[in-house]
Structure 1
Amino acid sequence: MSWTCCQSCCPGSQEQLLPIYRKHSVSLKPAELLWSTERDKPVKLRMSESGPGSEAPSTIHQMFQRTVDGHGDEPALRWKEDGKWITMTYKEYLLQCRSAAKSFLKLGLERYHGVGILGFNSPQWFIADIGCIMAGGLATGVYTTNTPEACQFVAHNCEANVLVVENHKQLVKILQVKDQLPHLKAIVQYKDELEQKLPNVYSWTEFMMLGEDVPEEELDALIKNQSPNECCTLIYTSGTTGNPKGVMLSHDNITWIANAVGTTTHLKMREEQLVSYLPLSHVAAQMNDIWISMRFAATTSFAQPDALKGSLVETLREVRPTSFLGVPRVWEKMQERMKELGSKSTALRRQVADRAKALGLQASYNEMNGTNVVPWGFSLANKLVFTKVRFALGLDRCKACYTGAAPITKDTLEYFMSLHIPLFEVYGMSESTGPHTMSCQDGFRITSCGKEVTGCKTKLDKPDADGNGEICFYGRHVLMGYLNMPEKTKEALDDEGWLHSGDLGKHDKDGFLFITGRIKEIIITAGGENIPPVPIEDSVKEEVAIISNAMLVGDKKKFLSMLLTLKCVMNDAGEPTDELTPLVVEFCRQHGVGATKVSEIVGNKEPAIYKAIQEGMERVNAKAPSNAQKVQKWSILPKDFSVPGGELGG
């Protein structure tokens, strides 16, 4: 494949591309650089002269309007009220977004100012997000687990004129800090009735009626003035290592990658069904649930707020999605639940299931390797086991199951392969508007995050003798910059416009990308040996199924040590509790231990469990390429890592 790097390598190349823009009747605002940290400053697009990357730039509204023009009567959004599914068509969806846009204008939303949205996935979340963009604002998702202080930082940083919250619980957070938000003009609560009437606080019904007298022409003029190379959305990083960074994404970032992902995965107009449940403050959920869905006239159905506490499978069974994206913990929970149910089956049923899974794993590996040889007995296993499992999970018509946002263990990948449900890894960042590489049915390798989305480019910077280098991205999905952070932007984007991920990776002979660690995570021992921690940490989690997180330490030390956490139940806020997951409880039972809490194991240093972990550690050490890469000491921490706790990034 040949590439033409029009922007980064050729000075003045924006002018060379003007004929392309004119051909597509696209109006771009003049720009001097590939990057910007100012909310109202457009950027050059990384367009190719031909082939992937040369597609016509488009605004959010233009993409939405094309879908409505061609498929306006198709179902766009579905949600449950009083146990019944309600459907909104694409025509109705667009009208609702326009009404929201006019109401934002009535409330005084200024051009390039933020609208913060804080709450669980719902039609109102989508409508507020798109309505804000139509009205010329910057749509900004806010983590539902944020403290009032963290909400204040994001709202102040994006100069939010309006904050949209889900319920009274989230409203209280904002009321605590509203006096520290000089740009804030109004708050809108989209779920439940307001518990009390407060100045400039509106229910969703009140909000949607506010803009009725705003002329359609006024909104149309604002929409027409928007350009694909301008900022329309902010995605905030978690801020684990400092204040959150506001990732500035342009219209073109979003519309281009939405189309590119659909092209790569062969999505079909009007045929796709999705379930929205992952937090929309993350770029992965926004791209999957809002933008890719909109581009391909898919139907997005909303899960219940307690989805991750158990109701998700019920929603999947009702919707039967055609594709499904889960973070590793979602797949791990499914795995744990199925293993728990399997352990209660009769010996004969377990024997049949084990034989079927062995055939399923072999068949999946054959497909992965391109041989397509079906093992003897697979058809019967598929009929007796796999078809029933897929139906029970609501994945019976799912063409692709994806995993992303964090590393997933080989054990979990192979478990689902054994059920003939391959999980395709997706790799990207907020800074790349979500996906950069993907595995798919056309080609995947276990533990690899696949190949580039059509039109994206990768280079490995400063590779070592084994081919490991920093993964760098290039393409029209690369961010504009970090809002008001020029130094951080210069750290992320080099002079040629490549985005430096900070991740280490290498390609295999077939071009599949494998993540091997992070640059800043490299441990240099006292003996001077460079050790990437991720492979060792992953090996420990694969060998000891009850380990949730493993953290290798030992920089400038004589030997390596490891901090471990046990799998535990998370509460509604995503915080770890003291209660062990059913899988760990069963593991304990099999080792003659009756513990049901983390504290019972850690407090008593339960000998049988500690022995089992040590045996797993010894198996990991036996595979170490050198003594320096062996774990000499380890300890179990009293609670698991989490985003709210600050140990993990969001």
Structure 2
Amino acid sequence: MAGKCSCPCCPPVAEPKPIVLSTATTLAPANQLWSTDRDKAVTLRMEGSGPGSETPMTIHQMFLETVEGYGDRAALASKKEGQWVTLTWRQYYEQCRAAAKSFLKLGLERYHGVGILGFNSPEWFIADIGCILAGGLAAGVYTTNSPEACQYVAANCEANVLVVENHKQLVKILQIKDQLPHLKAIVQYKDELQQKLPNLYTWAEFMKLGEEVPDEQLNTVIGSLRANECCTLIYTSGTTGNPKGVMLSHDNLTWISNIVGVIAELNHGEEELVSYLPLSHVAAQLNDMWVCMRYAGTTHFAEPDALKGSLGTTLKEVRPTSFLGVPRVWEKMQEKMKAVGAKASPMRKRVADWAKSIGLQYNYSAMNGENVVPWGFMLANNLVFKKVRWALGLDRCKNCYTGAAPVTKETLEYFMSLNIPLMEVYGMSESSGPHTVSLINDFRIMSCGKVLPGCKTKLDNPDKDGNGEVCFWGRHIFMGYLNMPDKTAEALDQDGWLHSGDLGKHDQNNFLYITGRIKELIITAGGENIPPVPIEDAVKAETSIISNAMLIGDKLKFLSMLLTLKCVVDDNGEPTDELTPEAVAFCQQHGVTATKISEILANKEPAVYKAIQEGMERVNARATSNAQKIQKWVILDRDFSVSGGELGPTMKLKRPVVVKMYQEKINEMYEGEKQ
């Protein structure tokens, strides 16, 4: 049973005094839609009526509204010594005020950053919101960042305070603190300090620091916050060049939080979710912090090893009402279920296959608006679907979302067959998260849904097939990149449209399909423009042993491909030499006894290579032209990973990095073919 937290890291909260602050919304003077200065406001993209005309509000106003309506409901839940402990909305609000006072005491200056480096926890949220209430700019920092990358972010936002999770993250900051002239203090929110240093505080010490700061002083700062000014920085993962600090305003976050809840039909005071994706990423922050705040939901924090295996246990305990996963999370669930299925008795396999065929038929019918319930659906639901949902902890889940990277048709159909249709969400850090969303009663497979109410999409320079650059408009469009006028001018055109760099097209029902990325387009030596993702996805769908596929061919005479095989990942997220059960099963089907990648590569295992080549030929047979056919391919000796540098924090492929790493292998495929 969840109880009130009484551990030393969460100091006792005094009975709240009534806070009387103006709820009137005044905007700071502004004359343009964008800014790259930390202290400049922007003109809001207000509409005359409809969802785009909502009255602007600050983060504090949104928070206070929830506290007043749902003050005694659980806001945050986390595990302490195996037990769930909770903070109510009122306690959470008081702790954020206490943190804000401590930031003021430490000398946090207006519009200066507070960098937060650690895994999701109540302290992460309280530091972030405390910083905003104190007039600072909250900036999440990826835990996988090197000391140099941390230094870049902290210097860019002129961080006065850095909040770190533990000694491991602290060590990174101690290496670079002398290069941070604005840094005044470091706070460590987990574990004991291994050494006492000047201006280094435990969480308990930090939370006590501001006790003497008068309420009036904090209220004056809160009262000066404006909805059209910056409150949060989201740093892009820097797949090309240095990360950019995406400036989000109070209005960006409060407006989008409201609209997301409206279309997802969230119920105030009833939603439960699990926080586990990196909070430095916009999707997790919007979902876990802001939408939850707007709708008075409860955020349950997963264990730090969530993505290494414990997430399943947390999901079963919490049974969330909605769940957001990046494609890799859904793929891992799929792999695990397939591995379990492979060990089932022949009878169970037959029942599962029958049920899945019914599930797929039913969900395609529902998707197309026919709503024909096939014979046997109720039986399949009782025998298989309900049990699978329960086993995954998704039995109460109204909405299962996938976003942040492309997902394959195979994965989408797999979950549709289990009656768990995944709703695709598409957007960017620069659009405060989502721009288009698929809904359970309004979706198309492989589409990322329809534009949010109050927002607009434009396809720029469309080709003969209707493919153009996807451009966004709405109250969720960012203010600009901090201190980067040139990059801001590249992203926002003169009329204020955000250019995504993605190619897309609409179908006759206004569903958006992403067909490629302008910067990722491969332009062959013959001048043909080829989007790599559909070809890569087709190759992966044809041959189940393949984990990652990357198309090569820019400025070259023909297309080739780098392939990796599905392998077991160790506790640190590092790919190992061991093949996954699914990959081993693939080998066995082809009469191969190998269980390691190295065994397949050592003698270029003929049966495996032949099966992959046959898959390539099936993909090539569907190619729209000879230029789009894959002529050569090579298997790499290890899979791509975040730690290896080939993938970004949201599992996006860092193409330029991979090309650089494997230039020798690429050169071998093109020997004698170069111009």
Amino acid across the alignment from 1:471: V
Q: Is the 8 A contact 2:402 2:422 kept in 1?
A: yes
Structure 2 letter corresponding to 1:247? V
Judged with a 3 Å threshold, the aligned counterparts in structure 2 of structure 1 residues 356 and 484 are, in CA distance, closer, same or farther, namely: same
Give the superposition deviation at 1:237.
0.9
Q: Kindly indicate whether the alpha-carbon contact (under 8 Å) linking 1:436 and 1:473 is maintained by their aligned counterparts in 2.
A: yes
Is residue 169 from structure 1 mapped to residue 168 from structure 2 by the alignment? yes
Please report how far the alpha carbon of residue 310 of structure 1 lies from its aligned counterpart in structure 2 after TM superposition. Answer: 1.2
Query: Aligned partners of 2:148 and 2:574: how far apart in 1?
Result: 18
The answer as to 2:268 corresponding to 1:259 is no
Matches within 5 A, 1:184-199: 184-199=183-198
The aligned counterpart of 2:547 is 548
DSSP 3-state at the match of 1:205:
helix
Runs of 5+ consecutive residues of structure 1 not aligned to the other structure: 1-23
**Aligned AA for 1:75?**
A
1:416 paired with 2:431, answer: no
User: Counterpart of 1:549 in structure 2: which amino acid?
Assistant: N
Match of 1:375 in 2: 374
Tell me by how many angstroms 1:233 deviates.
0.5
State the partner residue of 2:406.
407
Match in the other structure for 2:86:
87
Question: For 1:403 and 1:559, how far apart are their aligned partners in 2?
Answer: 33
AA of the residue aligned to 2:510: G
| Alpha-carbon distance between aligned partners in 2 of 1:417 and 1:590, rounded to the nearest angstrom | 26
Which amino acid in the other structure matches residue 345 of structure 2?
T
Instruction: From the superposition, tell whether residues 176 and 571 of structure 1 become closer, same or farther in structure 2 (CA, over 3 Å).
Output: farther
What are the within-5 Å matches in structure 2 for residues 535-574 of structure 1? 535-571=534-570, 573-574=572-573
CA distance in structure 2 between the aligned counterparts of 1:151 and 1:586, rounded to whole angstroms:
42
Residue 572 of structure 1: how far off its partner (Å)? 5.0
1:261 touches 1:454 (CA, 8 Å); kept in 2?
Answer: no
Q: Secondary structure at the match of 1:279?
A: coil
Q: CA deviation at 1:576?
A: 3.1
Counterpart amino acid of residue 566 in structure 1: L
CA contact (8 A) 2:425 2:448 kept: yes
Q: Distance in 1 between matches of 2:191 and 2:141?
A: 19
Q: Secondary structure at the match of 2:52?
A: coil
Are residue 103 (structure 1) and residue 102 (structure 2) matched?
A: yes
Equivalent residue, structure 2, for 1:50: 49
Deviation per CA, 1:51-77: give whole Å up to 9, x if none: 121101010000000000111111101
State the match for 2:314 in structure 1: 315
Deviates more, 1:504-513 or 1:556-565: 556-565
Residues 327-380 of structure 1: per-residue CA shift (max 9 Å, x gap): 000000000000000010000110010000000000010110111110001110
Describe the SS at the equivalent of 2:648. coil
Encode CA deviations 1:63-100: one digit per residue, 9 max, x unaligned: 00000011111110111111111111000000010011
Letter in 2 for 1:455: G
Q: Is the 8 A contact 1:146 1:644 kept in 2?
A: no
2:459 aligned partner, one-letter code: L
Partner of 2:440: 441
Write out aligned runs for 1:463-542 (5 A): 463-542=462-541
Contact residue 240 and residue 646 of structure 1 kept, 8 A? no
* SS of alignment partner, residue 616 of structure 1: helix
1:198 Cα deviation from its structure 2 partner: 1.2
- Cα distance in 1 for partners of 2:493, 2:570 equals 41
2:295 maps to amino acid: F
Q: Distance in 2 between matches of 1:464 and 1:383?
A: 48
Cα offset, 1:214, TM superposition = 0.5
Q: 1:93 to 1:569 in 2, by over 3 A?
A: same
What is the CA–CA distance in structure 2 between the aligned matches of 1:287 and 1:339, rounded to whole Å?
32
Secondary structure of 2:472 counterpart = strand
What is the aligned partner in structure 2 of residue 16 from structure 1? Answer: none
Q: Which residue does 1:210 correspond to in 2?
A: 209
- 1:119 aligned partner, one-letter code: G
8 Å Cα contact 2:138-2:232 kept in structure 1: yes
Aligned AA (1:307):
A
State the SS of the aligned residue for 1:274. strand
CA contact (8 A) 2:308 2:572 kept: no
Structure 1 position 611, deviation (Å)? 1.6
- Residue 601 of structure 1 and its aligned partner are, at CA, apart by 2.5
Q: Which residue of 1 aligns with 2:662?
A: none
| Counterpart for residue 274 of structure 1 | 273
Deviations 1:221-259 (A, max 9, x none): 001101001000001111121111110100001000000
Q: How many residues align?
A: 627
* Paired position in structure 2 for 1:12: none
Cα shift readout 1:132-172 (whole Å, capped 9, x = no counterpart): 00011110000000111111111111111111111111111
Q: Distance in 1 between matches of 2:601 and 2:68?
A: 61
The whole-number CA distance in structure 2 between the counterparts of 1:283 and 1:581 is 31
Show the counterpart of 1:65. Answer: 64
Asked whether the 8 Å contact 1:437–1:453 carries over to 2, the reply is yes
Deviations 1:523-568 (CA, angstroms, capped at 9, x unpaired): 2223332222111111111112222221111122222111112223
| Deviation of 1:324 (Å) | 0.3
Note the C-alpha offset of 1:616.
1.1
> Match for 2:91: what amino acid?
E
Give 3-state SS (helix, strand or coil) of 1:53's partner.
helix
**Cα pair 2:308 2:573 within 8 Å, conserved:** no
Task: Out of 524-533 and 460-469, give the one that drifted further.
Answer: 524-533
**Structure 2: how far apart are the matches of 1:138 and 1:579?**
44
What is the deviation of 1:307? 0.9
Q: Distance in 2 between matches of 1:182 and 1:572?
A: 37
Tell me which amino acid in the other structure corresponds to 2:30: A
Q: Deviations over 1:263-311 (max 9, x none)?
A: 1111110111100001111000000000000000001111111111111
SS in 1 for 2:425: strand
- Aligned mates of 2:191, 2:555 — CA distance in 1: 55
Cross-structure match for 1:113 = 112
Matched residue SS, 2:599: helix
Q: Deviations over 1:174-219 (max 9, x none)?
A: 1111111111111111111111211111111111111100111111
Counterpart AA for 1:630 = K
1:142 aligns with 2:107: no
Aligned residues with identical type, % of pairs: 75
Aligned to 2:324: 325
Measure how far apart 1:612 and its partner are: 1.6
Residue segments in structure 2 that go unaligned for 5+ positions in a row: 1-22, 650-675
Q: CA deviation at 1:573?
A: 5.0
State whether residues 356 and 417 of structure 2, in contact with CA within 8 Å, keep that contact through their aligned partners in structure 1. yes
CA displacement at 1:571 relative to structure 2: 4.4
Equivalent residue number for residue 17 of structure 2 = none
- SS across alignment from 2:390: helix
CA distance in 1, matches of 2:44, 2:185: 35
CA distance in structure 1 between the partners assigned to 2:79 and 2:51 by the alignment: 40
TM-aligned CA deviation for residue 574 of structure 1:
4.1
User: What amino acid sits opposite 1:27 in the alignment?
Assistant: T
SS of 2:504's partner is strand
Alignment of 1:287-298 (within 5 A): 287-298=286-297
Q: Give the residue type in structure 2 aligned to 1:473.
A: F
| Alignment partners' CA distance in 2, 1:577 and 1:62 | 49
CA distance in 2, matches of 1:504, 1:576: 32
1:114 and 1:571, CA in 2 relative to 1: closer, same or farther beyond 3 A?
Answer: farther
Aligned amino acid, residue 214 of structure 2: P
Distance 1:296 1:541, change over 3 A: same
Distance 2:60 2:371 in 1: 44
Checking the alignment, whether the CA contact within 8 Å between 1:57 and 1:228 is kept in structure 2 is yes
- Checking the alignment, whether the CA contact within 8 Å between 1:263 and 1:454 is kept in structure 2 is no
Q: Indicate the SS of the match to 2:273.
A: strand
Q: Distance in 1 between matches of 2:87 and 2:130?
A: 16
**For each residue in 1:463-504, what CA deviation from the matched residue of structure 2 results, as whole angstroms up to 9, or x when unmatched?**
000000000000011110001000000000000000000000
Aligned-partner residue type, residue 498 of structure 2: L
Structure 2 CA distance, aligned partners of 1:154 and 1:580? 37
- Asked if the contact 1:240–1:647 (Cα under 8 Å) also holds between the matched residues in 2, the reply is no
- Residue of structure 2 equivalent to 1:14: none
Q: Is the 8 A contact 2:246 2:430 kept in 1?
A: yes
- Per-residue deviation, 1:440: 1.0
Counterpart CA distance in 2 for 1:155 and 1:602 is 44
Aligned to 1:181: 180
Match of 1:17 in 2: none
